[in-house]
């Protein structure tokens, strides 16, 4: 148990030392000032968010997503929905028969 505690202490101190050295090296060799780096990062994030929202909202890209797989999956969903409605109607008619109500006329 004591050996395991030493292992975790060493792991913790090694991670802390590595983080400290990495921070110092990053500050010493950074190509830009901190504010410039923040502006660059925020600009790239804003650009990526704008591009993602354009792709999501644009009608030009609808053709890209209307492929065969999407149509087949929609057909499967529609078929499953129709089957579920049939099963629900049958279950309701069985419940009505059990309770003594007359069977509903089918279309």
- List, for residues 21-57, the tens digit of each pLDDT value: 998 888 788 888 878 887 888 888 888 888 877 776 6
Domain range annotation of the chain = 1-30
Given this model, what pLDDT does residue 58 score?
Answer: 65
Given this model, what pLDDT does residue 11 score?
Answer: 92
Q: Does pLDDT of 61 surpass 60?
A: no
Give the DSSP letter string of 47-85: HHHHHHHHHHH-STTHHHH--HHHHHHHHHHHHHHHHHH
| Mean pLDDT within 74-102 | 83
Torsion of CA 78, 84, 87, 92, to 10 degrees: -120
Q: Would the CA dihedral through 91, 94, 100, 103 be positive or negative?
A: positive
Given this model, what pLDDT does residue 21 score?
Answer: 93
């Amino acid at each position: 148990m004591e050996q395991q505690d030493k292992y975790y202490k060493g792991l913790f101190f090694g991670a802390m030392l590595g983080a400290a050295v990495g921070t110092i090296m990053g500050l010493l060799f950074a190509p830009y000032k901190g504010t410039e780096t923040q502006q660059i990062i925020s600009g790239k994030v804003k650009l990526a968010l704008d591009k993602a929202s354009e792709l999501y909202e644009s009608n030009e890209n609808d053709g890209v997503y209307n492929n065969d797989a999407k149509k087949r999956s929609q057909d499967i969903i529609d078929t499953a929905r129709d089957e579920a409605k049939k099963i629900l109607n049958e279950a309701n008619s069985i419940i009505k028969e059990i309770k003594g109500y007359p069977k509903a006329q089918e279309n």
